């Protein structure tokens, strides 16, 4: 057995156990109790497969995502468009955001280059996509001066499913670029990979808005968490395909 591989998983388990204990003791909660448990599972899988570099990417997404959700919280609550549970995340939120990225991370254990590089790109792109979606939505709801339905471009109230705003769109692009640049700085992706991730996140986020505007309310099973999985899947696949076509 590879000792380094064993050490990586040991560190993953111990580190995330310590963070879980600190989170339970902290007075300000970010997740529900079950949400923390599932976040522990996520953290172990990510560190065990992609080491600390991959772990920093998901931590950056989580911390920025939580912070952005709290922007304009009182105003959004007054308008009835704030996140439920005062922004606390549960297991469904954890996996709605991170399932695709986690599968990409696990997949790296079973493939060789260049497919491992592509899966890591997909991992980063999935979180670029989700952070872009979160920032676009939350900034749009808090500061969007004019919001339009993406399918018709007709003005609609802030918080409407499928609504987009200039402020939110720009925030989403900046957010996806930030996490992609972080991944590049950690040598997880190439410099060109930043472009693929940002472009893939932009495509996926807008397609997610189209889903919200057209079919989400028609199907009970198409919850926000399911849409998030679809959204991050599109982002990951788009980045992988664009990079694959460029490489070959």
What pLDDT score was predicted for residue 23? 83
d(CA 47, CA 236): 19
Check pLDDT > 70 for residue 223.
yes
pLDDT value at residue 75? 63
Residue 242 has pLDDT above 50, yes or no: yes
3-state DSSP assignment of residue 163: strand
pLDDT at res. 248: 64
Instruction: Inform me whether the pLDDT recorded for 171 exceeds 80.
Output: yes
Q: pLDDT digits over 100-154, tens only?
A: 999 999 999 999 888 999 999 999 999 999 999 999 988 888 787 888 888 888 8
Return the sign of the alpha-carbon dihedral for residues 102, 104, 105, 109.
Answer: positive
Percent of the chain residues topping a pLDDT of 90:
52
């Amino acid at each position: 057995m590879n000792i380094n591989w064993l050490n990586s998983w040991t560190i993953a388990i111990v580190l995330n156990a310590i963070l879980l204990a600190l989170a339970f003791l902290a007075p300000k909660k970010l997740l529900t109790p079950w949400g923390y448990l599932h976040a522990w599972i996520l953290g172990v899988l990510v560190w065990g497969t992609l080491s600390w570099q991959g772990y920093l990417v998901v931590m950056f997404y989580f911390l920025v995502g939580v912070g952005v959700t709290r922007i304009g919280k009182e105003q959004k609550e007054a308008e009835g468009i704030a996140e439920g549970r005062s922004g606390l995340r549960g297991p469904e939120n954890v996996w709605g955001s991170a399932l695709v990225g986690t599968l990409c991370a696990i997949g790296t254990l079973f493939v060789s280059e260049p497919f491992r590089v592509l899966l890591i790109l997909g991992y980063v792109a999935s979180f670029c996509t989700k952070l872009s979606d979160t920032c676009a939505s939350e900034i749009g709801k808090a500061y969007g001066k004019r919001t339009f339905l993406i399918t018709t471009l007709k003005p609609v109230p802030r918080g409407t499913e499928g609504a987009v705003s200039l402020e939110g769109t720009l925030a989403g692009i900046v957010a996806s670029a930030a996490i992609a640049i972080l991944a590049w700085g950690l040598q997880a992706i190439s410099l060109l990979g930043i472009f693929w991730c940002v472009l893939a996140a932009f495509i996926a986020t807008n397609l997610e808005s189209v889903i919200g505007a057209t079919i989400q309310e028609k199907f009970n099973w198409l919850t926000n968490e399911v849409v998030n999985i679809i959204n991050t899947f599109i982002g990951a696949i788009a980045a992988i395909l664009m990079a694959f076509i460029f490489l070959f």
